[in-house]
Amino acid sequence: MKVGVVTFPGSNGDYDSYAAVKHVMYEQVEFLWHKSADLKGSDLIILPGGFAYGDYLRAGAIARFSPIMASVVSFAQSGGLVIGFCNGFQILTECGLLPGALMRNTGLRFSGQFVHVRVENTRTPFTNSYRPNETLKIPIAHGEGNYYNFNGDVKKSEQDGLVVFRYCDTNGNINMQSNPNGSVNNIAGIINREGNVLGMMPHPERAVEKILGSDDGLKLFESVRAALATSRHRAAAGKV
């Protein structure tokens, strides 16, 4: 597995993703500078957390026009695996690779804490190592993670199994108390229809070793490794 982690001006989760891949997964990883269009032969692209371009205008709104994003979009369109954590998720919705939008948390506060999420779909390249409905303890750190889309569009995403993670309590129950930001249907992470682009507000890359408080995020990286070992997603690498 060869992972490319994009660094935007204002990214702050790029080293977390880098460390998770290099020092915990023992896989290859490279930083990709936002001004370059070169994906360096990566077979997984990570858009990290942070505040790309200061979150000016809207979170992710400016970052999506970076030179690197044109390459990321065509990589995704040819089937390459792309993950956006937090700010990366916001960039993916802004550039249209994922449906919906991320709005200000309903409580208006930045929220940094451990939360629980339930794995809603394990038939994805990002979650194949989890058990169905497994409950994960993973941190969040965002002020604009309130996932929103219009009723009909949310229904369609639900029907098509695009919702991958949902905020829940420690027992896996989905309720209002366990929703940290007002997201519709407690949605914490979603994939595109083709199944190769994942966006999620929680930070699995910050939960990969027990010493960090949880290693529940590790299986996400293991899932991708397993998917890449077997499949068609690899074909996209090198095309861009």
Partner 1 sequence: MSPASQKAVVYVRLKEGVLDPQGLTIQKALSQMGYREFTSVRTGRFFELDISANGANIDDRINEVCAKLLANPVIESYKVEKLK
Residue ranges binding partner 1 (CB under 8 A):
57-58, 61-62, 65, 93-94, 100-101, 103-108, 148-149, 182
Residue number with CB closer to partner 1 (103 or 168): 103
Minimal distance, residue 108 CB to partner 1, in Å: 5
Q: What radius of gyration do the chain's Cα atoms show?
A: 16
Please confirm, yes or no, whether 94 is among the known catalytic residues: no
Active site residue 203: yes
Is the Cβ–Cβ distance between 118 and 134 less than 8 Å?
yes
Residue whose CB is less far from partner 1, 181 or 223: 181
Quick one: 25 or 63, whose CB is closer to partner 1? Answer: 63
**Nearest CB to partner 1, comparing residues 108 and 211:** 108
Sign of the alpha-carbon dihedral angle for 177, 140, 181, 89: negative
Catalytic residue chosen out of the listed positions 34, 86, 120, 144:
86
Cβ at position 1, least distance to partner 1 in Å: 32
User: Measured from the CB of residue 31, what is the shortest distance to partner 1 in angstroms?
Assistant: 26
Shortest separation between residue 49's beta carbon and partner 1, angstroms: 20
168 classed as catalytic? no
- Which residue of the set 116, 142, 203, 233 is catalytic? 203
Residues belonging to the active site = 86, 203, 205
